[in-house]
Amino acid sequence: MLLDILKVILIGIVEGITEWLPVSSTGHMILVEELFSIENMSDNFYPVFLYVIQLGAILAVIFYYFSRLNPFSRKKSAEEKRSTWNMWLLVLIGVVPAAVAGVLLDDWLDEKLINGGIKCYVVAIALIVYGVLFIVIERLRKGKPNKIELAENLDKPTAVKIGLFQVLSIIPGTSRSGSTILGGMSLGVSRTAAAEFSFFMSIPIMFGVSLLKTGKYAVKSISGEAGYGVTSNEVILLLIGCAVAFVVSLLTIKFLMDYVKKHSFELFGWYRIAIGFIVILYFSLVR
């Protein structure tokens, strides 16, 4: 059990870092899965575990931005409260396209991409393509003024367009934050505003995905389907993973917001390309 706890801590660290940096948590989890397996966790529960520890990462966003996201704060003026409510409205508008696509395509994606034999290559291609796009968009945007500097200044049409970009994140390897940040920047949104709006949009989306996955697992468990129970060890490991993802996410979010104030996302583009080729080489030549 101790070894499994150490493995879960490592997974939580990877989740906390890669969920917010535009480098694809799925791509990195594939490599982590190749390094080890968790003995006290069933193969059926493991995918649910990966989705649910995202709740730890989400709680980090809520904690980090609580003041800005809280429309009931007594410290805010009436105008500031209206601005916060408007921000939540924009977030809900933005997540609609991805929410609809996710519900409609969830089973198909699980069958064809997530659990299919081509998953690793889909992830690798997505890593490389998005890496190239980050480099191209950063160079095209270089020296040009931003149309929108603050996340609070987004309008409804822009929120919808960013939401449409987020639909692409249902493809493994694209990265949820990568899709929304790329979408925002291509529309003239500043790096800081694009990253923050990406974080805000992730709150309902990731809560929804976790609920969907756990709900499906619970139905199978309640119906008595073989291999779909939950043990006390799995619950303990899940809680540890969530806690680690929460702490690491706080540090990662702070790092990224400080980084993008002075630097571009181009470095992440090159990193994605490198990881993409590593995945292809590993599964083509080693495995």
Predicted confidence (pLDDT) per residue in 265-276, tens digit = 999 999 999 999
Phi, psi dihedral angles at 43 (to 5 degrees): -65, -30
pLDDT at 112: 58
Residue 54 pLDDT more than 90?
no
pLDDT higher than threshold 80 for residue 81 = yes
Which one has a higher pLDDT value, 149 or 35? Answer: 149
All structural domains of the chain with their residue ranges: 2-286
pTM value?
Answer: 0.85
CA separation for the pair 199, 246 (Å, rounded) = 14
Report the run of H or E that residue 236 belongs to, with start and end.
helix 232-260
Query: Measured between alpha carbons, how far apart are the two ends of the chain, in Å?
Result: 27
Predicted confidence (pLDDT) per residue in 173-197, tens digit: 888 888 899 999 999 999 999 999 9
